Amino acid sequence: MKMKIKIWLAVILALSCFALFNNASAAKTCSGENLRPQSAKITVKIINKGAPANVQRAIRELLASQKQLKVTIGNGKGPDIDEYVVFFKEDKFMLKAQAIAQLLREKEEIFSYARKAETTEEKSADIVIMLGKSKEAPPA
């Protein structure tokens, strides 16, 4: 009798999990993510649009210690920019983008802030760090 109860409980638990994780909105609520596998890495692209090349390499090395990130570097399209910005493609990456912006302020003494990506270049990775000419705060 106890064995039958254990089997029924296992079946009920399995069906509950199956139903829960086939419902995307319920899965988001439970896990806080959009069903992203635990082993999936957040892609971070560092795009240089006016900063010295050594700054780009220093930031890549700084982020390389974070195992959940896959970091790549490249040069931006179009004209140089004056500021440093950390863009996030989706809201689920906002906290990580804010943490990276804070890390840049603390470790590299670079004023940066996080904001939602809008252009194709800004959305080219989960998080995109645009490096401009100035390490100072943009004008208010």
First-to-last CA distance in the chain?
72
How far is it, in rounded angstroms, from Cα 2 to Cα 95? 47
Per the rule left: phi > 0, alpha: psi between -120 and 50, beta: everything else, 83 is: beta
Q: What's the pTM value of the predicted model, to 2 decimals?
A: 0.67
The 3-state DSSP composition of the chain as helix, strand, coil percent (nearest 5) reads 40, 20, 40
Contact 131, 46 (CB under 8 A): yes
For residue 12, pLDDT beyond 60? no
SS3 75: strand
Residue with tokens 């100072």: 136
Q: Lowest-pLDDT range, 44-53, 112-121, 126-135?
A: 126-135
Spatial separation of the C-alpha atoms in residues 109 and 76, rounded to whole Å: 22
Closest by CA to 104, choosing from 119, 85, 87, is 85
- Output the pLDDT for position 121: 92
Any idea which of 24-33, 56-65, 87-96, 121-130 has the lowest mean pLDDT? 24-33
> For the segment 48-105, what is each residue's pLDDT rounded down to a tens digit?
998 888 888 889 998 988 888 999 998 888 887 888 899 999 999 999 999 999 988 8
139 or 102: whose pLDDT is higher? 102
- Asked if the 42-131 domain carries CATH number 3.30.70.2390, the reply is yes
